Amino acid sequence: MRSDDPRQPSRSNGTRSEPYGTRLLDRFRAAIRTRHYSRRTEKAYAHWIVRFLRFHRMRHPDSMGEAEISRFLSSLAVDRRVSASTQNQALSALLFLYRDVLSRDLPGSTTSCARSDPPDFPSF
């Protein structure tokens, strides 16, 4: 194999280079900064993207879709017991990843995956 082969580990940190040329989080950061999102939003979205990838054992998002997003959001609600707003933030981060970084629209009801808060009951 040639020394510039992308399948070879890089010499700087021992990890393999991304087959698309640029690493996914670098592409994400370039996309979010181009759209002038705040740094706090960038940090929060990056956190949710990494958690999503770890939840699915570091599979590339190109090989996943709406079913994996729904599974992740359901796990947040059921296992981690996060609030609806937290779930919506995670969903927004993943929609940004798929639409703006990977240029993939997700068909179906992905936008309605997050649960809503329970209704308030009147106090007596």
Q: What is the pLDDT of residue 107?
A: 73
pTM: 0.71
pLDDT (tens digit, 0 to 9) for every residue of the chain, 124 residues total? 444 544 444 444 444 444 445 699 999 999 999 999 999 999 999 999 999 999 999 999 999 999 999 999 999 999 999 999 999 999 999 999 999 999 998 876 455 555 555 555 556 5
- For residues 40 and 89, is the Cβ–Cβ distance under 8 A? no
Per-residue confidence (pLDDT) for residue 18, from 0 to 100: 45
> Which pLDDT score, from 0 to 100, does residue 64 have?
93
Check: CB of residue 107 under 8 Å from CB of residue 66: yes
- pLDDT score recorded for residue 106: 82
Please name the residues in contact with 101: beta carbons below 8 A apart, sequence gap of 6 or more: 24, 27, 28, 31
Q: Which domains does the chain have, with CATH numbers?
A: 24-103 (1.10.150.130)
Q: What is the pLDDT of residue 75?
A: 95
Q: Which two structure tokens, joined as six digits, stand for 115? A: 């649960």
pLDDT of residue 93: 96
Euclidean distance between CA atoms 49 and 91, whole angstroms: 10
